[in-house]
Structure 1
């Protein structure tokens, strides 16, 4: 049975994007990037909301991973391309090979089915998608980078109310901390 994991890199004040919609503050140090690679390597599938999918797809399938790119990024690009990807969107009409398009109204039923059929982590990316699948999420992984940005898009939108229990904590040499939570 699959396990649904929602994880993102955040500022220490809990934002995944700054007030301008940029994720530039979240570019991870090499040690954090390597940990993300190790986690991604275990993923059975990536589940993306449209915006995060659009931020990830072209760079990791076409641009990064070329010669001259740092080894840790080339490694992630390879993992990314080899992992099945699902994008949940009502606006996209087509997606490339290796990506499955799912309409938002089908999100709960599709992820429920994937959770039953696929053995391994199903990694959610994007807070709106995470909120729509909140009851299906088994673990929350927060990797807080050592930066405060003051405003932007939160890890989970306001109004989310969950009681969690930390089960793993890691501090990186670069100053980032990652905490893995399960439902309390």
Structure 2
């Protein structure tokens, strides 16, 4: 059975985007944090995206290694991003590229089926898609990369749940700029 990991940058008050889907509050990550994200992406055998995050990622990473000022880590991230199998869940997107397939049907049923397969861990991104997986009890690990910023509103990292989810802390780490990683595993 595959492990499903939900991780994103978020603010101290729990938002991944300000109103209007503005993610400029995080600024560019430190080299150390970018390397952490790269290592995490390398360990993922499959990435699951909601529409908005897919549009954000696919607007820059397919050619990220060809940018004139790209760092070695950015070049590696772009290559890894293109090579890693991806699934996009959307009823409005009609075409995907870069080792990606599109699912327009029941996301929870598809994620349940993917989890039942053998393979490397899967990562899931996008709060709407991840929220559906959370409510269905499919998330095995949460990776919260918390920036010392308060927004007061926007798109929350966590969705409303029907019941408690007990977690076990498995890692904490501090990055430059006061950014803190906390990783939790779901207790089953």
Length-normalised TM-score, structure 2: 0.89
Q: How does 1:1-184 map to 2 (within 5 A)?
A: 1-26=1-26, 27-62=28-63, 64-66=64-66, 67-105=68-106, 107-134=107-134, 135-159=137-161, 161-184=164-187
Gaps of 5+ in 1: none
Per-residue CA deviation, residues 78-118 of structure 1 (Å, 9 max, x unaligned), is 1111101100001112212411101242x222222222224
* Structure 1 segments of 4+ aligned residues over 3 angstroms from their partners: 158-161
Length-normalised TM-score, structure 1: 0.91
Per-residue CA deviation, residues 59-92 of structure 1 (Å, 9 max, x unaligned), is 0003x22132222222211111110110000111
User: Number of paired residues?
Assistant: 182
Per-residue CA deviation, residues 124-172 of structure 1 (Å, 9 max, x unaligned), is 0011101211211111110102222222111013456433221111111
Displacement of 1:56 in angstroms is 0.5
Superposed CA RMSD:
1.6
Give yes or no for contact 1:49–1:87 (8 Å, CA) kept in 2. Answer: yes
Gaps of 5+ in 2: none
